[in-house]
Amino acid sequence: MSCEILVIFHPLINEDLEGEIYFESTFGPFSVPVRCTIKKCSPEVDCQSIDFGSHVVGESVSRTITLTNNGALASFFSVGTSMHLSPARRHVQMPSQEFANADPENENITYSSHRSSYSLSLEEVHAKRQSFSTESDINTHLSFDMGACVSLTFVDYCDITLGNVRGGEIGPFQSVKLEMLFKPTVPGETIMDFYIRFSDANTKPIPIHVSGVAVSNPVWVVHPSIDLKICTFDRLYQYTIVVQSRENRAFKLTFDVCPEMRKHLQIIPIRGFIQALSTFNAQLKFIPRQSLPKDAQKYFDSDTGVLEVPMTVQVAGQVLPAKYTIHAIVTSSDLQFDQIQVDFGHCSIYHFVRTTVRLTNMSILPQDFGFVAVPEYIEVQPYDGFGTLLPQETLELDLIFRPKKPIEYNFQLRCKSGIDRDFVLPCRGVGFHPPLVLSHSLIQFRPTPVGDKSTATIYLTNYQDKEAATRLFKVISAVEAPRLFCFSLPKDSDISISPSVGRLLPGERCLVQVMFRPVLREKTITEEALRLHRIAKATSEKEPEVSRVTEHEMKRDIAVEHSRGRRTPGFAKRREISSPSSKSAERVGLNPGSELYRKARDLLLRSFSRSYKEYIVCCFVSDGDPPEANVQPTWSAINTLHLKLECLAVQPPLLVTSGNGKNVLDFRQVYVGSRVVERLTIQNISEEPVELTSSLLDIYGPFSLLNAMRGLNPGEKHTLVVAFSPNLEKKYSEILQVRAPKMVLEIILRGEGALPFVSSSHARDLPNVVYALEKDVVSQHFKLTNRSAETVEYRVMLASHSLNSPQHGFDRVALLLDGHRDTQIHPAVGTQNYSGLSVFGVQPLEGSLAPGKKQDIAVTFQPDHSSLCYTDRLTIELLNKCKVCEIDLKGAVPSHNMYLCGVDPLSVPIDSLLPDFTPLHPQLTEAEETPCIPLLVTLVASCKAGVIRPAVRELQVGCISSPHADKKSGEFHWDDLAAVHQQGFHLEPAKGVVEAGSSCSVTITWTPQSAYRPFEVVQVCVPLTVKSDEITIYKVTLMAFVSSAAD
């Protein structure tokens, strides 16, 4: 008995299921096994190893394998190379040219050939390609149809390749044919591992191992790569092409030459037969023409010059031709000048013209060159025009033209290369005789220390060659004419020329001095000073930090010293090195007088080594005198003379260390008659001892050297003591030469003799006559002002105090014997006090005045008796015997406090040597009780052009202010003025009152009357009464006349 049981399976998950269905029966339980599986892909191939065997290069062989899916699940598949290399070594061989066209990132291969070798790891390349890194990525991206065109991969470029079917979909229980091709190109064994990969993750790849052996052609070129190295245009290069045969029969050979290379390449013979197991030789002739870049653009790179021509040999009965490649680098063999023609222009027969040309090697090969058959008037430098040019090198050549005769030159310079090629450079020039001739065109100065000078003397002569000038230069006057010359000095040079300009007549010769005086430039000293300033500033900023570090080290070393009982030697050394300066660097100006500037200059001089310079000085010569005075002369460029100077500056052995390093000793202004001493210190900064001598100074000059010269060891100093004592008011300058064996140090002595400018105010502040009473003391003041630039010292002298003063009556006797012809003459020392003391005194007697300062001088008048003839002479003199002023001091002591001055003198200005005679019993009448004092006033009217100008005189009536006077004021009046007016006299005022210490002016005017006769003297007397403590009557005689000589 049986029954049917329906089992329904509803899969919910994609997994294999295995189990049992349990049943219960009367006989007991039993079970039925149940297994449910998912759809699977079960692929397999009929062959996993393919061996193509041995085949000749050029043949094509195919094999087919069948891929069968035994499962119920369809899947996509793809065929590719292995992800991993086999343990055995595998090679894939292919032509280099085809491999170069392939993308190197597509797959990884190992490639080798006779010409080139590339070895690439498949793992490295696949690691770079993310799209083929894992099988899941491949399965994800495999979504193409079976009939679609498959893009080429690296497999297409290998000897073993795949057919058209490289992937697609395989259905359940279906089969697919896969084709494998073997196309050998290079002899050798080829091994490839292919993998068939599937989109089903549970299906493993199926490996397929493919191998094949390729044998070479029976006929081949022994050297398939012919390297002709570097070739030059238009030269023949030959090579032997060897063809080898391994067959036992003969073959016909045909050498193919591409049309582009037929003008440049030739193979002889072009056809032939190669015998069995032998070789065939063909001659290759290569002559690259200049048209190669245009003819063979496909094979020739114009930028690099590389030529690569693939060639073939056609072999009858052979599938592939024998291939070979010709390699060469084609370059030019030209030597190129940068100028087409060299024009030297006009050149004097006493000088030379230098021009520079550039010679370039256009080849990539070194080339020897040399200038041959060079004329005697041409010089080629360097190395006399011979040398070697490196590839693409440019060499500057100096062509020196030295004409021997004043003629025109046209010539060619031949430059011959090492391969016997000639390159011609046309040249032209004109030689002429200059109108002015220098005796030397080259001056080589001796090694000159900085601060010293070297002088050379040359001559400039006005000489002309009439015949040459007339023959060559029609535009230039050939007649003898004066010539103007002018030397143009280089800018910022140490050269000076004297005279730098001038005029030379025909046949005249001029001496020219050229001086080389090396000095340190202002810019160099300033830069060094700034560098020292920055160093000082940086040091000052680091001082606090260094001080803290030093203090810490000292404490630590002292602790070590206490523990060990002694101080280590290294501490003392470190302490000496680390001790910073206690003062920070101050910022100072960089003017030439600053200390920082002096330090920088001294440092540069002490570290100075050598400095060589060359200068070319041009001397411009005119075509003659200008036609007019205010017209500039014409200057011709061909007349220009050139003077070459070779200057070598060295370190000076002597250095001035005083006065900010200047070799100028400036005494500035020194008063005439004075003497000033200055000192200047020099130091030997060389490494050798030097003996010093000096030049002689002018024995009649104001400068004098007070100490002698001596020898100086290295580092020693010597101080020069120089005095300056001018004797005239002018500027002085003199040069003192301090001579050493290798240097002459010039010290400029400079000073100015000056007269001190001290002014006095005595003319304004002192009265002409000091009036005082007996035993009065009167003081007057005036000022001395120093208007000079220096301090002056002065002294005040009175003639009465001088031992040489004639105060004992000698000048009085001389005055009396002179007949008193000149009433303006007064003795220097007049009446003095009876006590023997000078009636005049002065304070201070001496002193010094600073520039711009003033000094009060007090003059005191102290008489002890009455006299109208007190005189003395005050002289202010400077220490250099220069007189500031001389003042004649006058004093008058009347018998009472009123006085009259301004009248004509009627007696000598000295007191009588005899005592006054007084009668024992004088008898006076009533009319003579008040005596009259006679006075004379002379008035002179001037007459010019018939016009008479009135005469005017002025008298002073004064009153002395004195404590000894009873009455403090006075009065005066004129009497009998009517008679005076009749004669043309007019007195104003007629009367007045005079206060003590003041005076009153009385003006007397005379106007000639109409009845006045020429040369007539008008005279009239008028009394003047003066009243004070006493009454004094003056009998004033007015005398007037007309004179044509009067002012």
Closest CA to 464 of 513, 508, 510: 508
- The span from the CA of 15 to the CA of 40, in Å, is 11
For the cut 50, the answer to whether the pLDDT of residue 100 exceeds it is no
- Six-digit token pair at 840? 């005049």
Angle between helices 595-606 and 522-564 (to 10 degrees): 90
- Work out the pLDDT band at 560, boundaries 50, 70, 90: very low
The predicted model gives 1030-1038 an average pLDDT of 87
Q: Give pLDDT, residue 766.
A: 72
The pLDDT of residue 87 is 37
What is the pLDDT of the chain when averaged over all its residues? Answer: 80
DSSP 221-258: ES-SEEEEEEEETT--EEEEEEEEE-SSS-EEEEEE--
Higher per-residue confidence, 364 vs 672? 364
Q: How far is CA 761 from CA 245, 795, 846, 847, in A?
A: 137, 16, 17, 17
**Topology alike, domains 219-331 and 653-754:** yes
Per-residue confidence (pLDDT) for residue 911, from 0 to 100: 64
CATH assignment of 932-1043, among 2.20.70.10, 1.20.1250.20, 2.60.40.10, 2.40.110.10: 2.60.40.10
Please, are residues 943 and 1044 in contact by the beta-carbon 8 Å criterion?
Answer: yes
pLDDT at 831: 80
Bridge-based pairing of strands 743-754 and 664-671 is parallel
Q: Is the pLDDT of residue 745 over 80?
A: yes
From 782, 765, 756, select the one nearest 849 (Cα to Cα).
Answer: 756
596-631 per-position pLDDT tens digit: 888 888 899 889 888 999 999 999 988 877 777 777
Query: What is the reported pLDDT for 582?
Result: 32
| Dmax (CA) of the chain | 225
- What is the topology classification, in CATH, of domain 335-432? Immunoglobulin-like (2.60.40)
Looking at the chain, the whole-number percentage of residues with pLDDT higher than 90 is: 33
Q: Which residues, 6 or more positions from 312, have their beta carbon under 8 angstroms from its beta carbon?
A: 256, 321, 322, 323, 324
758-893 — its CATH code?
Answer: 2.60.40.10
Say whether the peptide bond before residue 989 is cis (omega within 30 degrees of 0).
yes
**Band (585; pLDDT cuts 50, 70, 90):** very low
Tell me which fold the domain 219-331 belongs to.
Answer: Immunoglobulin-like (2.60.40)
Burial pattern 600-628, b for ≥16 Cβ within 10 A else e, equals bbbebbeebeeeeeebebebbbbbbeeee
CA 409/CA 426 separation, integer angstroms: 11
- What does the pLDDT average to over 741-746? 91
Asked whether residue 475 carries a pLDDT value surpassing 60, the answer given is no
The reported pLDDT for the residue numbered 581 is 32
Fold of 44-215: Immunoglobulin-like (2.60.40)
Has residue 460 got a pLDDT over 60? yes
Higher-pLDDT residue of 647 and 122 is 647
Q: 């085809």: which residue's tokens?
A: 98
The per-residue pLDDT for 274 is 92
Q: Is the peptide bond before 269 cis (omega within 30 degrees of 0)?
A: yes
Structure-block tokens of residue 946: 């018939």
Which is more confident, 767 or 35? 35
| Better-scored residue on pLDDT, 384 or 628 | 384
Enter the DSSP assignment of 607. Answer: T
Do residues 855 and 781 touch, judged by C-beta distance below 8 A? Answer: no
Q: Where in the chain are the domains? A: 44-215, 219-331, 335-432, 436-518+614-641, 522-611, 653-754, 758-893, 932-1043
Q: What is the mean pLDDT of residues 160-166?
A: 87
pTM comes to: 0.49
Residue 206 has pLDDT above 50, yes or no: yes
Q: Which residues make Cβ contacts (< 8 Å) with residue 895, sequence separation at least 6?
A: 866, 1030
pLDDT of residue 104: 35
Task: With residue 428 as reference, give the H or E element that holds it.
Answer: strand 422-432
**Is the separation of the CB atoms in 1026 and 957 below 8 Å?**
yes
In the predicted model, is pLDDT for residue 315 greater than 50?
yes
Token duo for residue 189 = 């064994």
For residues 508 and 484, what is the distance between their CA atoms, to the nearest angstrom?
A: 12
Q: Which two tokens stand for residue 67?
A: 């891929």
Residues 6+ apart with CB under 8 A from 839: 800, 831, 832, 833, 861, 862, 863, 864, 870, 872, 891
pLDDT tens, position by position, 652-679: 999 998 888 888 999 988 888 888 999 9
For 653-754, CATH gives 2.60.40.10
pLDDT at 1: 66
Instruction: Look at residue 546 and tell me whether its pLDDT is greater than 70.
Output: no
What pLDDT does 356 receive? 94
Predicted confidence (pLDDT) per residue in 19-30, tens digit? 888 888 888 888
pLDDT of residue 515 exceeding 90, the answer is yes
Residue 389 confidence (pLDDT) = 94
Q: Which two structure tokens, joined as six digits, stand for 1014?
A: 């020429």
The reported pLDDT for the residue numbered 579 is: 36
**How far, in Å, CA of 763 to CA of 761, rounded?**
6
Is 50 exceeded by the pLDDT of residue 357?
yes
436-518+614-641 under CATH 2.60.40.10, yes or no? yes
How far is Cα 874 from Cα 892, in angstroms, rounded to an integer?
A: 17
Residue 486, SS3 per DSSP: strand
Angstrom CA distances, 701 to 697, 724, 739, stand at: 8, 9, 21
What's residue 8's pLDDT?
Answer: 84
- Residues 799-838 pLDDT 10s: 887 766 544 444 555 544 444 444 455 567 778 888 878 8
When mean pLDDT is compared across 86-100, 357-371, 581-595, the lowest value belongs to 86-100
Check whether 744 has a pLDDT greater than 60.
yes
Between residues 751 and 60, which one has the greater pLDDT?
751
